[in-house]
Amino acid sequence: MSFKVERSVISIPRKATYEWLLNKHYAQRIPTLVHTYGVFENGVMQGVCTYGIPPSPPLTTGVCGEEYKDIVLELNRLVLVEDHSENLASYFVAQTLRMLPKPSIVVSYADTSMNHVGYIYQATNFMYTGLSAKRTEWREVGADTHSRTIVGQYTHKERTDNPDKFAQVDRPQKHRYIYFVGSRTHKKQLHKSLNYKVQPYPKGETQKYKNDKEIGQQITFI
């Protein structure tokens, strides 16, 4: 006898995502949150998907130019329980894309340092536009402090005068994916303004991540 699974995706309060983002995602920090969604199966929450303003102002203008900078969003977190049902991730992302304001430009990244390729974006028809630019970032020796936290807490002089404590390292490049939300006319206009070349999807083996600091169920994220 088969068991019917009822799925639903709804907008949820930002605070409802905090446990998932802080305790069940490898970044362990809360990014900017503008649109926050939860996916449910038979009334039980199975994950969260969040969108926010990209942290880099040049990115908002770099995708389709100054004219469209105010409609750029970043899909910045996608977290699911590890033993989620088949195709739940692509279903979840596809549903959230339909719920976003129209028109919108969605940018998301697959982290190469975590062996992520971005198959979920490929499954939901995102455009692949290559790797992010090569950059350096600050790291605290012997600690896992995020680069933005270091820059916010310490002056440039404090960082450069303490080479035993701080170091600049190459930032891992990420696969960049873009999706246009809107009518056929909207999408046509945005395609004409796209500043990146659309490329063939990358391939590789995606690694699932398990958080040692998990609360409740283990998770996987893409």
Which class is domain 7-133+173-221?
Answer: alpha beta
Q: Could you check whether the bond before residue 101 is cis, i.e. omega within 30 degrees of 0?
A: no
Candidates 33, 198, 195; CA nearest to 126 is: 198
CA distance 73 to 40: 24
Q: What is the pLDDT of residues 97-124, one digit of tens each?
A: 999 999 999 999 998 776 778 999 999 9
Q: Are 162 and 131 in contact (CB under 8 A)?
A: no
- All CATH 3.40.630.30 domain ranges of the chain, comma separated, are 7-133+173-221
pLDDT, tens digit, for every residue of 20-34? 998 877 677 899 999
* Predicted confidence band of residue 218 (pLDDT cuts 50, 70, 90): very low
- Range 59-81 average pLDDT: 95
Per-residue pLDDT, averaged over 145-166, amounts to 73
- Return the structure tokens found at 164: 């035993």
Could you report the per-residue pLDDT of 199-213, keeping only the tens digit for each?
Answer: 999 987 654 444 333
N- to C-terminal Cα separation, the chain:
32
- pTM flag (> 0.85): no
The residue ranking higher by pLDDT, 132 or 174, is 174
